[in-house]
Amino acid sequence: MAAYELNRLPKTASFEQVMAKLEKDGYCIIEDLAGNTLMDKIAAEMDPWIEQTCYGRDQLNGFFTRRTGALIARSTYARKLIMDPLVLDSVGTWLAHAYSFQLNQAQILSVGPGAKAQPVHVDEVAWDFYQFPGDYHIQCNTIWALTDFTEENGATRIVPGSHKHPLGLKYKLEDTVPVLMKRGDVVIYSGKLYHGAGPNTTKDQVRQGINITYSVGWVKQEENQFLSVPREIAQTLPDDLLRLMGYQQGAPGIGIFRDSEDPLAAIRSMPYEQYIYSQAVKKTLDASASDYKAQFLNEIVELTKEGQ
Ligand SMILES: O=C(O)CCC(=O)C(=O)O
Ligand SMILES: [Fe+2]
């Protein structure tokens, strides 16, 4: 591709500015959002886990690539990235058509020397290749640079603007551009953007990115947070992180706990009455995106009132 200038914003940017870039090009780099010190701390916590992670067993996962998950359980500092306010405001706005959004996956991707380019793909295909409508966003994703991202060490490669393209297209490496980032930068990208890890042609550099992805609340998460984060650790986490991990109803009735209680009650001891169905429905109504959904939920609210 001819010389292409990547979108970049400073960490003081507003989420509206991030949205404008996402709308137009399907991605946006925010410089130095994490900074070096936080990355040092995450690396110190995660290095022993990365060391013992197996390499991938297919081209998509990468024969020289390690994928190290369970970030919330293993790294207290990575939780800061997952909960970053600018990222959450951006993701929440991108996915605002849905009742809720959630953490989908959090893992460190270490692309080792000799790795070939990952096939160019859209992340949305994770859900059994179901073809979601072009204007319905399922995911908003991030890759934080834990090391510098260079063309040589396997920087993620993207096809700018391709979030507006149909599914199933085939792109070659020449159609893509490398997302060059300094350690501590982050790229936010749409789940519909064509991308893939680049080839690592260096002899001795491992490229490390922290891939934290978010999805609408009604799909099954790629990483099962209830299994990845043991209950004893979950009990120490704040409510907002727990909800993001999936201790919430993804939409009314999706992911209920026991007798339609608030899923947080599984972690905190809450009185049974705390979960009131009609209130949850009302929340959806307020945020409803379509007339059809609003009408349907309105009827439920009315029926619920009648039944009381
Ligand atoms: O490691 C990267 O640069 C991208 C990885 C990726 O896109 C994926 O695994 O879905
Ligand atoms: Fe991907």
| One pLDDT digit (tens) per residue for the chain, 308 residues | 558 999 999 999 999 999 999 999 999 999 999 999 999 999 999 999 999 999 998 888 889 999 999 999 999 999 999 999 999 999 999 999 999 999 999 999 999 999 999 999 999 999 999 999 999 999 999 999 999 999 999 999 999 999 999 999 999 999 999 999 999 999 999 999 999 999 999 999 999 999 999 999 999 999 999 999 999 999 999 999 999 999 999 998 899 888 877 888 888 876 655 544 444 554 555 554 566 666 766 676 676 666 65
80 and 207 co-located in one domain: yes
The residues lining ligand 1, judged by C-beta closer than 6 Å to any ligand atom, are 109, 111, 118, 123, 143, 156, 195-197, 209
Same domain, 54 and 109: yes
Distance CA(297)–CA(286), nearest Å, equals 10
The whole-number pLDDT of residue 60 equals 84
3-state secondary structure of 13: coil
Query: Last residue of a domain, which of 187, 208, 228?
Result: 228
Residues 236 and 208 in one domain: no
From 197, 228, 259, the end of a domain falls on 228
- Order of all β-strands in the sheet with 195-197: 177-178, 156-158, 195-197
Separation of CA 195 and ligand 2 centre (Å):
6
Q: What pLDDT is recorded for position 297?
A: 67
Q: Which residues surround ligand 2, an ion (CB under 5 A)?
A: 123
Per-residue model confidence (pLDDT) at position 10: 98
* Same domain as 242, residue 204: no
Does residue 76 sit in the same domain as residue 174?
yes
CB 264 within 8 A of CB 248: yes
Instruction: Please check whether residues 121 and 259 belong to one and the same domain.
Output: no
Q: Verify that 187 and 204 share a domain, yes or no.
A: yes
Is residue 201 domain-resident? Answer: yes
Do 90 and 107 reside in the same domain of the chain?
A: yes
Whether residue 23 is contained in a domain is answered as yes
Q: Is residue 3 part of a domain?
A: no
HSE (CB half, 13 Å, CA atoms) of 22?
25
- Residue with structure tokens 């986490």? 237
Residue 238 covered by a domain: yes
Centroid of ligand 1 to alpha carbon of 185 (angstroms): 16
What ligand has the least distance to the C-alpha of 147? 1
Where in the sequence is the domain holding 263, given as residue range(s)?
A: 231-307
Pocket test for ligand 1, best of 118, 146, 148, 185 (most atoms within 8 A of CB): 118
Query: Best of 107, 109, 116 to mutate for ligand 1, by most ligand atoms within 8 A of CB?
Result: 109
Distance of CA 215 to CAs 5, 146, 275, Å? 28, 23, 24
Measured from the Cα of 60, ligand 1's closest atom is 9
Q: Are 65 and 115 contacting, i.e. CB atoms less than 8 angstroms apart?
A: yes
Task: Give pLDDT, residue 278.
Answer: 41
Residue 293 domain flag: yes
User: Which residue CA neighbors atom 1 of ligand 1 most closely?
Assistant: 197
Q: Is residue 2 one of the residues assigned to a domain?
A: no
CATH code, 69: 2.60.120.620
SS3 content of the chain, % helix, strand, coil (to 5): 35, 20, 45
Number of domains into which the chain is organized? 2
List the residue whose alpha carbon is closest to atom 6 of ligand 1: 196
Same domain, 151 and 163: yes
1 within domain boundaries? no
Q: Whose CA is nearest to atom 8 of ligand 1?
A: 196
pLDDT of residue 258: 85
Atom index in ligand 1 nearest the CA of residue 196 equals 7
268 and 223, same domain (yes or no): no
- Confidence (pTM): 0.91
Residue with CA at minimum distance from ligand 1 atom 4? 197
Which residue minimizes the CA distance to atom 2 of ligand 1?
A: 197
Both 126 and 273 in a single domain?
Answer: no
Last residue of a domain, one of 185, 203, 228: 228
The closest-lying atom of ligand 1 relative to the alpha carbon of residue 154 is 3
CA of 67, closest atom in ligand 1 = 9
Question: Does 224 share its domain with 235?
Answer: no
89: in domain = yes
pLDDT at site 246: 96
